[in-house]
Chains A and B, each alone.
Chain A
């Protein structure tokens, strides 16, 4: 109660411009397929370029994107730390930020797993459970989305480098995503996919683990990157902003000569979509 009161006070004092409140939608034609974006907080705050790449790729393969800026975090940090009441608070706000019934797509297997595996447990014996269950069914991770709608043929482009793929643990073990991202990568030409580097090894991020046990976490990140380097990779493509943050930081602090991209960034580059938000470019297909 006190928290809510505090929140109202803060909001009242600072009244922000209304632009944040609108449910924005861009480039919608009547016959077009639409999808809503969930931009995970790490992408929103640290790596907006991943969100831009997601928009541009979706738009280029013929989907129009909606974005509701109200949503921020799915609640996973609190949940993983054992702080379930706080996680539930965040989850409730998160679900409320996605009205309607359309599909939602995101760039994090970990956030998707949080929603799909734990949300209903979090709302057991709560009147909001039916609403939460409906929401859970709407969310898909990017490669699941591509697979579900069989959009592989729309992905074309040229990349370079010797590339290893890093599947996030939650995407692999909680969502059982295994072949989809590799199949997406194989739609591109010009680069070498190093299969031997794709072994399922944790990068050591793990949310609060990264804060509480930073030395262990960092050493795990270092040995994950070393595995890629030993396999001869000069580029890592990953599918989770958490893993990307961890590996980029390790690569920077260890001065390793390796580039780390999110799958959608890698696709956006290959498809020549630029770094600016651009929702007008359409593929011929």
Chain B
């Protein structure tokens, strides 16, 4: 069964990573430098980070509450600009749309800039299945593509690789001389990618924001690869989740610095591009055709749930992943899905189904570090609780837990029952402590010889007697 399988493999992978000290050190080091940059940028760039979050949260919440209206506005404007808009209800429809475009235009090579939405719909595999060669052009994405891996993180996909490992990988796959010099490695990737940019017929991107009032796609990046992806090939396809909408161009004034600060600790990313459509007559550059694929894939079912709807305001900055002690320990690959960490654990069960993915909502100590850092103030840990309640309501949670808590509720909240069972608990904990394997022995809680309520009663008795 798929459900047990995914849960079991998550347990397995997370346990392996939790015990991997070198992995932990590598991630902590990367996140420590991120933390320092972000803290400094929050102070230097914003008069009040808290106020910025409040404004961003209210803009995004308003946008999501008017989602149908704003999407239609976006579509009308985009069509006016000469963009073809495709509505995709699920991953299969989105893939089919891209494949149709590729086939109709005789595409043999494609370049792609970093996009988690295309990871979500597993676009690379689909394109390769019809013989289209696809190159990731973001340096981090290229690294994971060459290593035949999935992105480790939604913003920094190769966070788990050291420079030495990347040098070795490039040496093996691109034939570059063995080095761990960052500049040389980047140069090698540039040479390799320049060729791909020039020969690709199709450029694929995601979208960081969709501007409803303009029908525009906004891309934010640091390497210029998204700009080349949208400028060199004949065709540009942007695959965007429907929640990416912002009402007005002016909203970028806040959202671009907000995303850059939370995402990478930058004031702004190096390149920010607003694309309103394909090349117009008289313009020298740009694609001849442009498509925007608006992807639902479960988002409207999140929209329909009042409490969960706020999760659609996420701007995918990745701050909650970096803050999460569980993510830091088990890493992005353990989750085996496009969106890991706290936000992934909130939305994935809704996008991919509770039976297979509800275990993600339980994989959190509910410490709330995610909610604390979220730039649009999503109460992620409370939404995890909502998901757990959802699983219980839908009866997709395990029967053992349901029976267990039923019995617990009948007995545990009542002192008399508890007192009656006290000797059994006590004995049980002693026996379990003795029977447990040595490495678990310290982790079996031992019920005290006298509970507090018994100590109190002893004390009372002594006092009345004396």
Q: In the assembled complex, how far is the CB of residue A2 from the closest CB belonging to chain B, in whole angstroms?
A: 9
B residues contacting the other copy or chain, number (CB 8 A):
68
Q: Which residues of A contact B413 (CB under 8 A)?
A: 72-73, 75, 89-90, 93-94
Q: Is the CB of B416 within 8 A of A11?
A: yes
Question: Looking at the complex, which one of A46, A90, A169, A220 makes contact with B448 (CB distance below 8 Å)?
Answer: A46
A44 within 8 A of B: yes
Question: Is the beta-carbon distance between B364 and A14 smaller than 8 angstroms?
Answer: no
Q: Is the CB of A84 within 8 A of B389?
A: yes
Point out the residue from B362, B439, B440, B460 that lies within 8 Å of A213, measured CB to CB.
B362
What DSSP secondary structure best describes chain A's contact surface? helix
Contact with B366, one of A78, A80, A97 (Cβ below 8 angstroms): A80
Task: Chain A residues near B51: list those with CB within 8 A.
Answer: none
Q: Which residues on the A side are within 8 Å of B420 (C-beta)?
A: 10, 14, 16
User: Is B92's beta carbon under 8 Å from chain A?
Assistant: no
Q: Is B281 an interface residue (CB 8 A)?
A: no
Taken residue by residue from 184 to 223, chain A's Cβ proximity to chain B (1 for < 8 Å, 0 otherwise) reads as 0000000000000000111011111110111111111001
Please indicate the chain B residues that have their CB under 8 angstroms from the CB of A43 in the complex. Answer: 452
A85 to B408, CA, bound (A): 12
Across-interface contacts of B448 in A (CB, < 8 A): 45-48
Answer yes or no: B456 CB below 8 A from chain A CBs.
yes
Question: Shortest beta-carbon distance, A56 to chain B, in Å?
Answer: 11
What 0/1 readout, one digit per residue, does chain B (437-456) give for beta carbons within 8 Å of chain A? 00111110111101111111
In the assembled complex, B189 has its CB within 8 A of some CB on chain A: no
Query: Do residues B412 and A204 form an inter-chain contact, with CB atoms below 8 A?
Result: no
Q: Which of B11, B369, B385, B440 contacts A169 (CB 8 A)?
A: B369
Enumerate chain B residues within 8 angstroms of A213, measured Cβ to Cβ.
Answer: 11, 14, 362-363
A19 at the interface (CB under 8 A from B): yes
Cα distance A97–B302 when bound, in Å?
A: 39
CB distance from B17 to the nearest CB of A (A): 9
Contacts of A24 in B (CB 8 A): 456, 460
Q: Taking A24-B456, A24-B460 as contacts, is the C-beta distance between A11 and B417 under 8 angstroms?
A: yes
B176 part of interface (Cβ distance < 8 Å): no
Residues of A close to B24: CB separation below 8 A: 223
Q: Which of A63-71, A132-140, A147-155, A265-273 contacts B (4 or more CB under 8 A)?
A: A63-71
Whether the pair A82, B451 counts as a contact (CB closer than 8 A) is no
List chain A residues, Cβ under 8 A from B418.
Answer: 72
Partner of B392, one of A20, A52, A82, A204: A82
In the bound complex, do residue B412 and residue A174 qualify as a contact, i.e. CB atoms below 8 Å apart? no
A83 touches B401 (CB 8 A): yes
Q: Give the complex CA separation of A254 and B463 in angstroms.
A: 42
**Chain B binder among A28-36, A157-165, A231-239, A245-253:** A245-253
Question: A62: CB under 8 A from chain B?
Answer: no
Q: Is the CB of A72 within 8 A of B414?
A: yes
Report A-chain residues with C-beta under 8 Å of the C-beta of B363. Answer: 209, 212-213, 216
Contacts of A174 in B (CB 8 A): 368
Given A10-B417, A44-B451, A216-B326, verify A67-B456 contact (CB < 8 Å). yes
Bound: A234/B186 CA distance, A: 46
User: B413-432 interface mask toward A, CB cutoff 8 Å, 1 = contact, 0 = none?
Assistant: 11111111000010000000
Is B385 touching A72 in the complex (CB atoms < 8 A)? no
- Whether A209 contacts B417 in the complex (CB less than 8 A), given A52-B455, A83-B392, comes out as no
- Chain B residues positioned under 8 Å from A182 (CB to CB): none
Using CB atoms, name the residue of chain B closest to A249: B443
Which residues of B in the span 347-370 have a Cβ within 8 Å of any Cβ on A?
362-369
A181 at the interface (CB under 8 A from B): no
B391 interface residue per 8 A CB criterion:
yes
Instruction: Determine the distance from Cα of A245 to Cα of B444 in the docked complex, in whole angstroms.
Output: 10
Contact B325 A69 (CB under 8 A): no
Q: How far is the CB of A72 from chain B (nearest CB, A)?
A: 5
Assess whether B455 is in contact with A82, with CB atoms less than 8 Å apart. Answer: no
Q: Which residues of B contact A215 (CB under 8 A)?
A: 11, 14-15, 18-19
Q: Is the CB of A216 within 8 A of B443?
A: no
Establish whether residues A206 and B366, one from each chain, have CB atoms under 8 Å apart when the complex forms: yes
Closest to B453 in A: A69
B311 part of interface (Cβ distance < 8 Å):
no
- B residues lining the A interface (CB < 8 Å): 11, 14-15, 18-19, 24, 325-326, 329-330, 362-369, 371-372, 385, 387-392, 397, 401-402, 405-406, 408-420, 425, 439-443, 445-448, 450-461, 463
- What are 22 A-B contacts defined by CB distance under 8 Å? A7-B410, A14-B416, A26-B460, A48-B455, A72-B418, A73-B412, A82-B390, A83-B392, A83-B409, A86-B408, A173-B372, A201-B325, A206-B366, A206-B367, A207-B366, A209-B364, A210-B365, A215-B19, A223-B24, A253-B441, A254-B442, A277-B455
Kindly list the 5 A-B residue pairs having the minimum CB-CB distance in the complex, ordered from nearest: A82-B388, A206-B365, A253-B442, A86-B409, A202-B367
